[in-house]
Amino acid sequence: MLKVHHLNQSRSHRVIWALEELALPYEIVRYQREKTMLAPESLKKVHPLGKSPVLEDNGLILAESGAILEYLQETYDPESRLKPLDPAHKVQYRFWLHYAEGSLMPLLLMKLVFSSLGKPPVPFGMRTLGKALGQGVQKAYLNRQLETHARFIESHLAENSWFAGEALSMADIQMSFPIFALLARGGIENLPHTQAWKTKVENSPGWQRTLQQGGPLTIPGEG
């Protein structure tokens, strides 16, 4: 049986969602974040990087969300329910699968880090300086970069029902976490098509089953 090593409040929700959409039997091994919000050391017994998600399939150990989703589609989706058949949509599919972690998530992680420099666990005496540094980097670089990416995504979703054509695909599943994070902490207004996509995802039966199995996914906003 497929086994998902699932960390609470993490990107492993995407793997559970893919499994639910493919109606595959699976087992969840659950891990809780430490007080530092880092993954527990026990995950290193599963994969040397100690990160989640990790998928086990008959002794095969797979890490990295995009690689896992591609593996599941290629191995367990012979009818191509979660990959478009149209050549133009296939190009979009491949792009968004890689864009999610390659371009968008690094910016969102930087946003999280720099917005936290004025808070614990930063030493009390360094918080004023840390806050000023964090705000300066966000204003000079991060906010403008995120604005560019947000408008790029909004423009795409204004012309497409889903990220790769007219049906849900692994591209949407891969983009779910960064879109949720962008809307929660990006500080960018007037993204109606992106918000509509998120609402459509949240109302979908597959995502509802994912939350039942994996628990809630709450991404804190700015502040």
The H or E element containing residue 21 is helix 13-21
pLDDT of 221 > 60? The answer is no
pLDDT tens per residue, range 202-218: 999 999 999 999 998 87
As its CATH architecture, domain 87-204 has: Up-down Bundle (1.20)
Order of strands across the sheet with 54-57? 26-31, 2-7, 54-57, 60-63
pTM for this prediction: 0.89
pLDDT tens per residue, range 36-46: 666 778 888 88
pLDDT tens per residue, range 1-31: 899 998 877 789 999 999 999 999 999 999 8
Rounded distance, CA 192 to CA 57, Å? 39
Can you read off the two tokens belonging to residue 148?
Answer: 């560019």
**Parts of the chain belonging to CATH 3.40.30.10:** 2-76
**Parts of the chain belonging to CATH 1.20.1050.10:** 87-204
2-76 CATH choice from 3.40.50.1460, 3.40.30.10, 3.40.50.300, 3.20.10.10: 3.40.30.10
